[in-house]
Structure 1
Amino acid sequence: MATRRRLQFVHGQVAWMLATLLLLALLGAFSLELFFVVSLIGFLVVTELTAPFAVRPHWRRRLKWFILLGLVGFAYIVVRRILAILPPGVL
């Protein structure tokens, strides 16, 4: 049971990332930052959609560290974008 759920999670995440890559390439909007952000959104969605109701397997407990790492990366991207928008001399 746990292996099936784990494979379901991995297949969902890989499918989301491939679809994101294809869509961004088709739109001509591919950048690593945008790919990272959309992949993080997909990771959070797939994590919630594949979550079991009653039991929390051990492998799912480790996902919180990946989520935390992704949110730190997202915060870094947001701060960089804000600093790029601000005029020089504001900070």
Structure 2
Amino acid sequence: MTSRRRLQFVQGQVAWMLASLVVLTIVGSLSLELFFVLSLIGFLVIVELTSPIAVSPEWRRRLPWFIAVGLLVFGYIVIRRILEILPEGVI
């Protein structure tokens, strides 16, 4: 059975991602990279806003793995963008 807190967490993440998708579409900047970065920011904010004070449920103990993978992908995106900006022959 899904706990109420976990359901709120998932609903918050889905709402954030849908709102990001709508805003990116409206401003004409929809790309997979921007959507991923905004989704990661939303995920990190929701993790912090919903963190319990005393006891951490089992499902929250697995969140650092998702955070680590998200940050690795974010680092890859940043490095790729930097390499696109640098002129030829610098690296």
Q: Give the TM-score normalised by the residue count of structure 1.
A: 0.97
Q: How does 1:7-18 map to 2 (within 5 A)?
A: 7-18=7-18
* Larger RCO (alpha carbons 8 Å, 6+ apart): 1
Identity, % of aligned positions: 69
Moved over 3 A (4+): none
- Asked if residue 34 in structure 1 is aligned to residue 31 in structure 2, the reply is no
- Asked if residue 71 in structure 1 is aligned to residue 71 in structure 2, the reply is yes
Q: Distance in 2 between matches of 1:16 and 1:39?
A: 7
Flag structure 1 segments of 5+ consecutive residues without an equivalent.
Answer: none
**Aligned partner letter, 2:48:** E
**Aligned partner letter, 2:56:** R
Q: Distance in 2 between matches of 1:29 and 1:89?
A: 30
Q: Distance in 2 between matches of 1:55 and 1:27?
A: 41
How many residues align? The count is 90
CA deviations on 1:11-52 (whole Å, 9 max, x unpaired) are 000000000000000111100000000000000000111111
- Asked if residue 61 in structure 1 is aligned to residue 47 in structure 2, the reply is no
Flag structure 2 segments of 5+ consecutive residues without an equivalent.
Answer: none
Give the match for residue 50 of structure 2. 50
CA deviations on 1:49-83 (whole Å, 9 max, x unpaired) are 11111011110010100000000000000000000
